[in-house]
Structure 1
Amino acid sequence: MTNDKNRLTTSSGAPVGDNQNSITAGQRGPVLIQDVHLLEKLAHFNRERVPERVVHAKGAGAHGVFEVTNDVSKYTKAAFLSEVGKQTPMFIRFSTVAGELGSADTVRDPRGYAVKFYTEEGNYDLVGNNTPVFFIRDAIKFPDFIHTQKRHPQTHLKNPNAVWDFWSLSPESLHQVTILFSDRGIPATYRHMHGFGSHTFKWVNAEGEAVWVKYHFKTNQGIQNLDVKLAEKLAGENPDYHTEDLFNAIKQGDFPSWTLYVQIMPLEDAQTYRFDPFDVTKVWSQKDYPLIEVGVMTLNRNPENYFAEVEQATFSPGNFVPGIEASPDKMLQGRLFAYSDAHRYRVGANHNTLPINRPIAEVNNNQRDGFMRGDGNGGASVYYEPNSYGGPAESPQHKISPFEVTGYADSVAYDHDDHYTQAGDLYRLLSDEERTRLVENIVNAMKPVEKDEIKLRQIEHFYKADPEYGTRVAEGLGLAVPQGGN
């Protein structure tokens, strides 16, 4: 019997053959439910913290309305987007990612951007961030990534060694790391930042024609960010600064708004586009796929009770409505399971019956019982399907748009590994002053890292994105650019 402490295993002790890629049906997926290692990682990860959210624990929310301003019915049959002037009530939750429930608002961290649309066809949740990309592109790596952002199991302190070790070994993170340490890494308020669906989704119109789509919420207040020193000062003096700002703005009638735009890609373009369009660490060029206006979201009402509405709000990217579907994005595919599973654990199996989550559409299903069932539990109605007693039945016209699946089931990586072009393009778009602040932020964050090999490995990534980028970080850390980066 072997006793190899360096061998990664499942909780039952079986060795793990691939911890980087989910098992998919061919190159493009979808992810297979037979990937028990993936499901075990995600399910266990969702149960690691009680009772606050595992990620996005600290947040603020508000009610509002979304109004369609442009006809997009040729792209999607979603009823809430069906005509200009149509209004849909919605709720949004902004959040930081890594910190605990009592952490400061003004830390350098991505911001969660979760929107729930209460449509006549059911709730539609768009659960993204204030960045168009993410650190990783496969959900199998998500528990590991978030562990690096949490506290060391011995010291209970934040651990820059883990943070930069993981990033340096995961070059796909470079694009998001560059955004995070830029000026946009600390928004001035929740009102002064954009929001993104981040993933690629599918829109389907009434004729069954499909396109790929990305969402962009552009703030109508303008982009504003916090100076590092001011952010640190506010973190000590008013750790709830963003929460307070949002509440007071709405209370005073200064209702923040965002204009929603989408990028539309024909299905066939996904086969030939120069970046994998389903890779969430990449963006689509707006020159290739221009922004198309959809509507305006306005926040006009504060919660009456934070716990009942903000803390108990549950969002899942798997909450679709007819006309909006998933894509083969591996990170999205994992989230379709993980988010609802987290809510079933954190809030309970009946979380969707709570007022803040309850659809305005009539709910007819055969889900019964469970903890804290607060409604009629289905009464005496039929509790199975198919049935001969007039109970709710499936509606074939609402089946998903079919898509072709090919290839061998295997743990398959994305077939594009250019992690440097877009990060380099972003660096070169910045002004001289913005580049200086970016490098200073990175250098200050990397200084506490104990191992030079981690620093050097990360510097090599910066250098591959842009030689000046890597050289300046290396100089700031008193190191030379590794030979592999030249």
Structure 2
Amino acid sequence: MFWDFHVGNPEGIHELLHLFSDRGTPQSVRFLNSYSGHTYKFTKEDGSFKYIKIHIKTQQGIKNFTREEATKIAGENPDYMIQDMFEAIERGDYPKWNVYVQVMDPSEAVNFRWNIFDMTKVWPHKDFPLRQIGQMTLNRNPGNYFADIEQAAFSPSTMVPGFAGSADPVLQARLFAYPEAARYRLGVNYQMLPTNAAKVQVYCPFERDGKMRFDSNYGGDPNYVNSSLQPTKFYPEMKGISPKSISLHTEHEKWVGEVITYTSHITDDDFVQPAALWEVIGRDSGHQDRTIGNIAASLKGVESAKLRNDVYALFSRVDQDLGKRLQKATEAAIKS
């Protein structure tokens, strides 16, 4: 089913190469980079914005397991990743990451080669260079695992002012689905739990009431937001919310989203970025061979010769030599 799915959805080939390369088996979260597949926005109070993608790069360097090492570790200690992070923080070896963004003006999005809301595409660094905006450090372990971790609720809809979602259709689904799952799992006021609560209070009177509400619940303020809303005696330090500053969709996004987002026709252009990644993998001695070996180890379990041939054809669209080498390695593994 795994390979049948990807043959039918070839736009995911870029991520498949990540998954089956050395990058798919990191030695630790500490040695791992992170990226926002989604496109977000930096916004201003006047409603203007820039599109952004986020990159979080480890200061510890990149380290990966081979497939054999990862399989061994998974069998010996399924909690290896958690233990490694916990022990590093416990001994004061706090892992750090640099945080960068790529920035794109809305005017550039319309004529960009790829749809900027397409999660299967990246923005070339030469066109949109990384700009460092901060650093992330993990310097404390959970005090109580249930309270701090099991009750944690992460969602891309949890944003600070100046940060917003875009018309990315998968992101739009997650903006709704993630908090909906948290409300079901933890209760409607899950964001009041200490592990989820904002460190700086935000004036949001339309998020109120419900079971287990234990604060002043915005007192007698109206439960809606408009341009004339002002701070009250209950929250004198708060400012009113500008509808323009929290608007998720602009006329530009409405046009871009409705006109070019919902397309699924696959062309050779969809294989340009995977081909570039394959070249990058080739710069590291033996990395291409390991990647092919990883794919073959999975693909050899596919009994259908037709489906295997379809997979070879899929990878051949990335690189002809890749497809041939994969076929040779897989069929040899089957015979052995």
Q: TM-score range by the shorter chain?
A: 0.7 to 0.9
1:365 aligns with 2:218: no
SS in 1 for 2:42: strand
**Structure with more strand by fraction:** 1
1:322 aligns with 2:176: no
SS in 2 for 1:301: coil
> What is aligned with 1:419?
270
The one-letter amino acid of 2:245's match is H
> What is aligned with 1:435?
288
What is the distance in 2 between the residues matched to 1:254 and 1:369?
A: 42
> What is aligned with 1:275?
114
What is the distance in 1 between the residues matched to 2:231 and 2:143?
A: 42
Deviates more, 1:341-350 or 1:401-410: 401-410
**Structure 1: which 4+ aligned runs deviate by more than 6 Å?**
386-389, 407-411
1:254 aligns with 2:93: yes
1:457 aligns with 2:310: yes
SS in 1 for 2:138: strand
1:403 aligns with 2:251: yes
Offset at residue 376 of structure 1 (A)? 3.2
Contact kept? 2:96, 2:137, Cα under 8 Å:
yes
Q: 1:270 to 1:397 in 2, by over 3 A?
A: closer
What is the distance in 1 between the residues matched to 2:313 and 2:6?
A: 12
What is the distance in 1 between the residues matched to 2:271 and 2:286?
A: 22
Q: 1:274 to 1:340 in 2, by over 3 A?
A: same
Cα-to-partner distance string for 1:62-88 (whole Å, 9 max, x where unaligned): xxxxxxxxxxxxxxxxxxxxxxxxxxx
1:313 aligns with 2:152: yes
What is the distance in 2 between the residues matched to 1:471 and 1:385?
A: 62
SS in 2 for 1:276: coil
Q: 1:299 to 1:430 in 2, by over 3 A?
A: same
What is the distance in 1 between the residues matched to 2:129 and 2:10?
A: 28
Q: Give 1:473's match in structure 2, choosing from 319, 326, 333.
A: 326
What is the distance in 2 between the residues matched to 1:414 and 1:336?
A: 22
Cα-to-partner distance string for 1:373-397 (whole Å, 9 max, x where unaligned): 1523628534634799958865346
Q: 1:164 to 1:380 in 2, by over 3 A?
A: same
Task: Provide the alpha-carbon RMSD of the alignment.
Answer: 2.7
Contact kept? 2:56, 2:98, Cα under 8 Å:
yes
Q: How does 1:203-218 map to 2 (within 5 A)?
A: 203-205=42-44, 208-218=47-57
What is the distance in 2 between the residues matched to 1:271 and 1:411?
A: 11
The one-letter amino acid of 1:421's match is V
Deviates more, 1:355-364 or 1:411-420: 411-420
Gaps of 5+ in 1: 1-161, 480-486
SS in 2 for 1:172: helix
What is the distance in 1 between the residues matched to 2:48 and 2:221?
A: 35
Contact kept? 1:203, 1:324, Cα under 8 Å:
yes
TM (norm. structure 1) is: 0.60
Q: 1:202 to 1:409 in 2, by over 3 A?
A: closer
Offset at residue 433 of structure 1 (A)? 0.7
**Structure with more helix by fraction:** 2
Cα-to-partner distance string for 1:389-414 (whole Å, 9 max, x where unaligned): 95886534634373332497999325
TM (norm. structure 2) is: 0.86
What is the distance in 1 between the residues matched to 2:230 and 2:78?
A: 58
Q: How does 1:98-137 map to 2 (within 5 A)?
A: none
Aligned residue-pair number: 317
Offset at residue 445 of structure 1 (A)? 0.7
Q: How does 1:44-443 map to 2 (within 5 A)?
A: 162-205=1-44, 208-363=47-202, 364-371=204-211, 373=212, 375-376=214-215, 378=217, 381-382=220-221, 384-385=223-224, 394-396=241-243, 398-400=245-247, 402-404=250-252, 405-406=254-255, 412-413=262-263, 417=267, 418-431=269-282, 432-443=285-296
What is the distance in 2 between the residues matched to 1:200 and 1:410?
A: 15
Offset at residue 286 of structure 1 (A)? 0.6
The one-letter amino acid of 1:339's match is Y
Offset at residue 476 of structure 1 (A)? 1.7
